[in-house]
Amino acid sequence: MEVREARSSEEVDEALQLRERVFWGEQGVPKEADRDGRDGEALHLVAVREGRVIGTCRLVFDGQVAKLGRLVVERPDRRRGVGAALLREAERAARSARARQIALHAQLPARELYVRQGYVDRGASFMEEGIPHVAMEKPLPDA
């Protein structure tokens, strides 16, 4: 498996299709909530195996904060390290862009994935698109 920035519009399209299957199909998230108009400005990261995108997330930069979102992994590949690998690559990319912090909204069932990668809760849980979430962040001090 290779985890990296998307290299073509075709890979970004594959990532968007994966988000559709997971968010719209599995979780019932409305299309408008997923497609928020920010994909054009985002840095899309992909996990690729045998030429196929099996995981993705995106970073949207707001000053020195990298906002991580839309992390999804194909169902058969979950709990096999794909999400953790995407988070490590997101941290590398955020540092490269000189971000000082990564912020995200984690679905509560996935919270431990982020905790294992050094993210901490910021505030109480809340509902977003009918799914319980918690705001989390990770500082990126100079290495």
Give the number of C-alpha atoms closer than 13 A to the C-alpha of residue 32, restricted to the C-beta side.
Answer: 0
pLDDT at 143: 57
Domain that holds residue 14: 2-139
Question: Number of folded domains in the chain?
Answer: 1
CA distance 58 to 39: 8
| pLDDT of 17 above 80 | yes
| pLDDT of 142 above 80 | no
C-alpha closest to that of 69 among 98, 28, 110:
110
| pLDDT of 32 above 70 | yes
The reply to whether the predicted model has a pTM over 0.85 is yes
Q: What is the largest CA-CA distance in the chain?
A: 40
- pLDDT tens-place string over residues 82-105: 999 999 999 999 999 999 999 999
CATH code for position 75: 3.40.630.30
